[in-house]
Structure formats: structure tokens, C-alpha cells
Amino acid sequence: MPAQQIFDSPADAPQRAGVGFKPQHFHAAMEAPGGVAWFEVHAENYMGAGGAPHRMLAALRERFPLSIHGVGLSIGAEKGLDPDHLARLKSVVEQYGPSLFSEHLAWSSHDVGYLNDLLPLPYSTETLQRVCAHIDLVQQTVGRQMLLENPSSYLRFEHSTLRETDFLKEVAQRTGCGLLLDVNNVFVSATNLQMSAEAYIDAFPLEAVGEIHLGGHATDADDDGAPLLIDAHDREVADPVWALYQYVIDRIGPKPTLIEWDNDVPDWPILAAEAERANEVLIAAETSEAGRGRAA
């Protein structure tokens, strides 16, 4: 086992931009972080026993607040949570003391194995009970609040009876978890399911939002030739997503905001520039809050 890292209790995540950490950016990020104020990592990449991943993350953690973002817990799974995986998640969170800790409203495992994708859930009283029970277990086991992220949707279920926003509102109320609002996912889902993205934001329980995600999407076409957006995280954040982000920040004020860029990863300066763009929105919101006398 790697030497156990002992850190001070986690600082609140700054109301500034962070980026998803990529090992190839390690040196550039340490030398010239620019406006990047914190880093998010996928918990599963740090579940090995030792080696370079842990050494890098420990060095990063000494200088920056971290967010641990799980991608493999399968909170929506019919088969239940994997106790071994939950124990590993707890261990990573304890080792690195992140400021933020989150997972997804999705499932990714079934009896045959782990499918490495965030798969969709219908929204019903049955799935609501299941998701709440699983989040209760996560928060009890890890010993802290988690944030739950809204998914990108590509299709409709026959038997959904609740709106996603109502589902998330109920989950947050019943479990006390916070929410991670992925603004790109909202735009992707709204386009794919032909809804209004602004109406989705208006219906979203914004008071529970503890973190925001921004990322790039690709464009495809559905069975009838209508646009089908794919949550690809492989390019810059699209302009309409920046506009929707502004719409959100205007309502809730500055929040820790992550730039996700996981495929066709660019050189560090390009990623840092995306973070700067988010910072401009956040700083403007902070200034306007202060002007209205709402700042602490």
C-alpha cells in the first residue's frame, strides 16, 4: 500500500473553475496552473495499490483542492451496490480528503459485468426508492455528503412517470445529497428529447447544486434524421452551453465549475483557457453579487 497521506480537513472548493486531471498535464499544471483553481479525478483511476497515479495525485493534493468523481458505482443498478467497490471508494475519499465528492444518476453494472458507460434509468417511484436507498448507503459508508450528477439522455423509456428534475428534487430532499449540475448534459438531453433547456433549469432544484460541469459534445442524427447530441467530452464547450451556464450562474451565483475534456485531450494551455472562460463568468457574478450587497 502507498504511504497513507494525511491531509488537513478539506477546504471548501473555490467558486472558481477546475479541470479534469489528465496525467499528461501533470508538469504543466503544477508549473503554470493559470486560473485553474482545483482538479477533479475519476475515483476508479486511483484504486490501484500504488505507483505513479497515486504519487501524482498526492502531489496535486498538496497544492490544490480536489474533487473525487466516481464513475463506476452504478447507483441506479437493479442488482444493488457492490460492497467491495463502495469500500474502495470510501478508501480513496479518506486517503485524499477531497473538497467535493460525486457520482452519477445512472447504472453501469449488471450480472455479466461492468459496462463502462453511464446507462439510463426510467424515473418512477420504484427507481426513486432504489436510488435513494443506494445514496443513503453511500453517504453512510463514506461518511459525508455526495453530489449526484444529472445524466445525458439519448432516449425515452415507456414507463417513466416522473420528470428528471422532480426525480432529482425528491432524491436530494429524501437523502440530503447535493447535486452536480452538468450544464452540457442538460443541453444534450434537452436537444435529444426536444425539451427546453431553460425550462429544465427553471424546474431544477438549484438550491442543492454544489458543483457544475461543462464539457463538449458531438453531433449525430437520430432515427428520423433529427439532431442527436453525444456527450463526448472531446472538444471545447459549445457556445449555447456557455449561454445556458450564464443562465444558471445568473440564478444561483458562482459555484465550483469543472471543464471536462476526456477524449482528444488538448495541450494544457487550451484546457486552461477554457477554465479562464468559466472564471470570467464566475468573477462577474461575484462582482455583481457584491454590488447588490449579497456577498458574505
Partner 1 sequence: MQPEEEGAYQAEFTAALLDPNAQAPSAIASGQERRFAVYRNNVIVSLVEALAAAYPAVQALVGEAFFNAAAGLFVRSHPPSSPLMIYYGEGFAEWLERFEPAANLPYLPDVARLERLVLEARNAADAEPLSQQGFAQIAERAGAEGLGGLRFAPHPATRALASAYPIVSIHARALLGGEGELRGAETALVTRPQDEASIIAAPTGTDLALGCFAQGGDLTQAAEQVAEAGGDFSLALSTLIQNGAIRG
Q: How far is the CB of 122 from partner 1 (least distance, A)?
A: 7
Q: Restricting to residues 154-183, name those near partner 1 by CB under 8 A.
A: 154-159
CA pair distance 51, 48, nearest whole angstrom: 8
Q: Based on the shown chain and the rule CB under 8 A, indicate whether residue 6 belongs to the binding site for partner 1.
A: no
Q: How far is the CB of 167 from partner 1 (least distance, A)?
A: 14
Answer for the pair 45, 20: CB distance below 8 angstroms, yes or no.
no
**Among 228, 252, 265, 284, contact with partner 1 (rule: CB under 8 A):** 228
Q: How far is the CB of 249 from partner 1 (least distance, A)?
A: 29
**Among 4, 8, 221, 296, contact with partner 1 (rule: CB under 8 A):** 221
Residues 6+ positions from 160 with CB-CB distance below 8 Å:
122, 123, 124
In 3D space, the residue among 2, 1, 11 whose CA is nearest the CA of residue 61 turns out to be 11
**Among 24, 129, 173, 287, contact with partner 1 (rule: CB under 8 A):** 129
Q: Based on the shown chain and the rule CB under 8 A, indicate whether residue 14 belongs to the binding site for partner 1.
A: no
Residue 87, judged by CB atoms within 10 A of its CB (0-12, 13-18, 19+), counts as: exposed
What is the biggest distance separating any 2 CA atoms in the chain, rounded to whole angstroms? 56
The mark string for 28-67 relative to partner 1 (x by CB under 8 A, - otherwise) is ----------------xx-xxxxxxxxx------------
In 3D space, the residue among 92, 40, 44 whose CA is nearest the CA of residue 66 turns out to be 40
Report the run of H or E that residue 277 belongs to, with start and end.
helix 268-291
Residue 83, judged by CB atoms within 10 A of its CB (0-12, 13-18, 19+), counts as: exposed
**Residue number, 128 or 172, with CB nearest to partner 1:** 128
Where does this chain bind partner 1 (CB under 8 A)?
1-3, 44-45, 47-55, 71-74, 77-80, 82, 84-85, 88, 107-117, 119-120, 122, 124, 126-127, 129-130, 133, 154-159, 192, 220-224, 228, 230
